[in-house]
Structure 1
Amino acid sequence: MDPIEPIHSEDGPPSGHEAPLPVGATALETAILSRLDDDKAQDIVLIDLKGKSPMADTMIVASGRSHRHVGALADHLQRTLKEHGLGKVKVSGLPHCDWVLLDAGDVIVHLFRPEVRSFYNIEKIWSVDSGHRVDARA
Structure 2
Amino acid sequence: MQERIATITQILDEKKAEEIEVFDMREGEYFVSFVIIATTLGEKHALSLIDELKTKLKAKGEEFLNVESSEEWSVIDLGDILIHLLSPQYRKIYQLEELLKRLV
TM norm. shorter chain > 0.5: yes
Distance (Å, rounded) in 1 between the aligned partners of 2:30 and 2:45:
30
Distance (Å, rounded) in 1 between the aligned partners of 2:34 and 2:8:
11
Q: Which stretches of structure 1, 4 residues or more, deviate above 3 A after TM superposition? A: none
Distance (Å, rounded) in 2 between the aligned partners of 1:69 and 1:122:
20
- Is 1:44 the counterpart of 2:45? The answer is no
TM-score normalised by L of structure 2? 0.88
- Is 1:62 the counterpart of 2:38? The answer is yes
TM-score normalised by L of structure 1? 0.68
Q: Secondary structure at the match of 1:84?
A: coil
Distance (Å, rounded) in 1 between the aligned partners of 2:50 and 2:29:
24
Question: Does structure 1 conserve the Cα–Cα contact (< 8 Å) formed by 2:67 and 2:76?
Answer: yes
The residue aligned with 2:57 is 81
Question: Does structure 1 conserve the Cα–Cα contact (< 8 Å) formed by 2:64 and 2:77?
Answer: no
- Is 1:27 the counterpart of 2:3? The answer is yes
The alignment's C-alpha RMSD in Å is 1.5
Distance 1:58 1:115, change over 3 A: same
Tell which has more relative contact order, 1 or 2 (C-alpha 8 A, sep 6+).
2
Task: Name the structure where helix makes up a greater proportion of residues.
Answer: 2
Q: Secondary structure at the match of 1:44?
A: strand
Task: Read off the aligned partner of 1:63 and give its amino acid letter.
Answer: T
Q: Gaps (5+ residues) in structure 2?
A: none
Give the C-alpha shift of residue 54 in structure 1. Answer: 4.3
The percentage of aligned residue pairs carrying the same residue is 26
Q: Secondary structure at the match of 2:76?
A: strand
The structure with the larger Rg is 1
Question: Does structure 2 conserve the Cα–Cα contact (< 8 Å) formed by 1:44 and 1:63?
Answer: yes
